[in-house]
Structure 1
Amino acid sequence: MTQQGTIAVERMDGSAAVQAQEAFRLIYAEAFAEPPYNETGDDVVAAFRRFPPQARKHAFRAALARTEEGEPVGMAYGHPLGPDTGWWDELTVPVPADMRREDGHRTFGLMELAVRGPWRGQGIARRLHETLLASMQAERVLLNVHPASRAASSAYRTWGYRKVGEARPWGTGADLHDVMLLDLR
């Protein structure tokens, strides 16, 4: 556990994350209810129906930020992408075969990274990201970000991510998202 001021960031494996699922749900629901995401209660239920199966994936890892009093303020989680991942299939323009090659170790898929409103602008997102990726064996990290989420897009670019395409995650009704890649080597 690392600590800065009154915010502690803890790295977790899948079983610990499932035990802390309500904290992840609270952060997700609050952070993604805002524009441009506008997630509803039904969206949150759907996301957390997927959470336990995601947490059981090989090498799943999560990071959770809390105040001294234990209030959850930020979270991040993901897992390595397997050879059968559909992530690359969602791109609007295909990328070269070598870029989309996955083996279960090469690419870490960053599923979610969020900080609740009152705690933004304090470096918590960066700390969550660093904690999640510490001692990472993957060559790279892949994520989707809504382009209208300017703060998130800017942070990712500052951290070294580059846009490699656009996708409509979760099906045809979804907004177009930027697909960003961070090389770790």
Structure 2
Amino acid sequence: MSPERSGPIEGIGLQHYTAAQARELRGEVELIFRDSYVDAIESGAEFESPEAFMHRFDAYTDPARAGAFELVIARLDGELCGQAWGWPLTAETAWWEGLRLDEGDHTVFTVENGSRTFAFSEVMVRKQFTGRGIARTLHDELLANRPEQRATLLVRPDNHRAYRNYRRWGWYRVGTLRPGWPGAPRFDVLVRDLQQPRVDQRGAATY
């Protein structure tokens, strides 16, 4: 059974944007990040700086490589309150580089074709709007109509609140990975099934 979606939040508006449209909202994207990761920014860690974050955002939305990048921005009574984004992994993806699987065949697990895995890259809510279910709403909105078989995300092992939420929302751990970005920490790799398998006449599960 698939995890339930969140219920509607009164006054919230959700808008989807392509990579090109997202680049035009760069200021809004940075504002949401700064108000969502205050403590992380104050830590002084290179990976957590607004400059490093926006450098990654620019790479994700680069017209030469953005592909089917999708951004969802949430506004509560018209005020920016959160965002989430991701993209499908292609055969050329570097997403899985450095992956250490807990079990299973690494070669088979990391095969991508543009329709197997959706990379759920970011979800964040400005601090003054937390505790209202907005993160779950963004999460569900971004994944609601994805055609891929599965989704994956990276989460810090010590981010206990986020970890608990992801587990409750249907995600499970498959391994660890340290991205190639400068100063990147090692993350746990989580996966969530997006499509329910159908059984064909031979009894084999297909998607």
TM-score by length of 2: 0.78
More divergent stretch after superposition (74-83 vs 19-28): 19-28
- 1:12 CA displacement: 2.2
How far apart, CA to CA, are the structure 2 residues paired with 1:147 and 1:132? 23
Residue aligning to 2:4: none
Superposition misfits of 4+ residues, deviation over 6 angstroms: none
Match of 1:53 among 54, 62, 87: 62
Q: CA shift at 1:118, angstroms? A: 1.5
CA distance in 2, matches of 1:112, 1:142: 11
The percent identity for this pair of structures is: 33
1:113 Cα deviation after fit: 0.8
**Equivalent residues, number:** 183
The structural deviation recorded for 1:20 is 2.1
Gaps of 5+ in 1: none
CA deviation string 1:101-152 (max 9, x = no partner)? 1001110011111111121121111111111112110001011011221121
Secondary structure, aligned partner of 1:90: coil
1:69-125 Cα deviation digits (max 9, x unpaired): x32111000110011212222224585222111001110011111111121121111
Structure 1's 150 and 78: CA in aligned 2 closer, same or farther, altered over 3 A?
same
SS of corresponding position for 2:39: coil
> Quick one: structure 1 residues 137 and 37, their matched pair in 2 at CA, closer, same or farther if it must change by over 3 Å?
farther
* Partner residue in 1 for 2:85: 77
Larger radius of gyration: 2
* Structure 2 alignment gaps of length 5 or more: 1-6, 196-207
- For 2:26, the equivalent position in structure 1 comes to 21
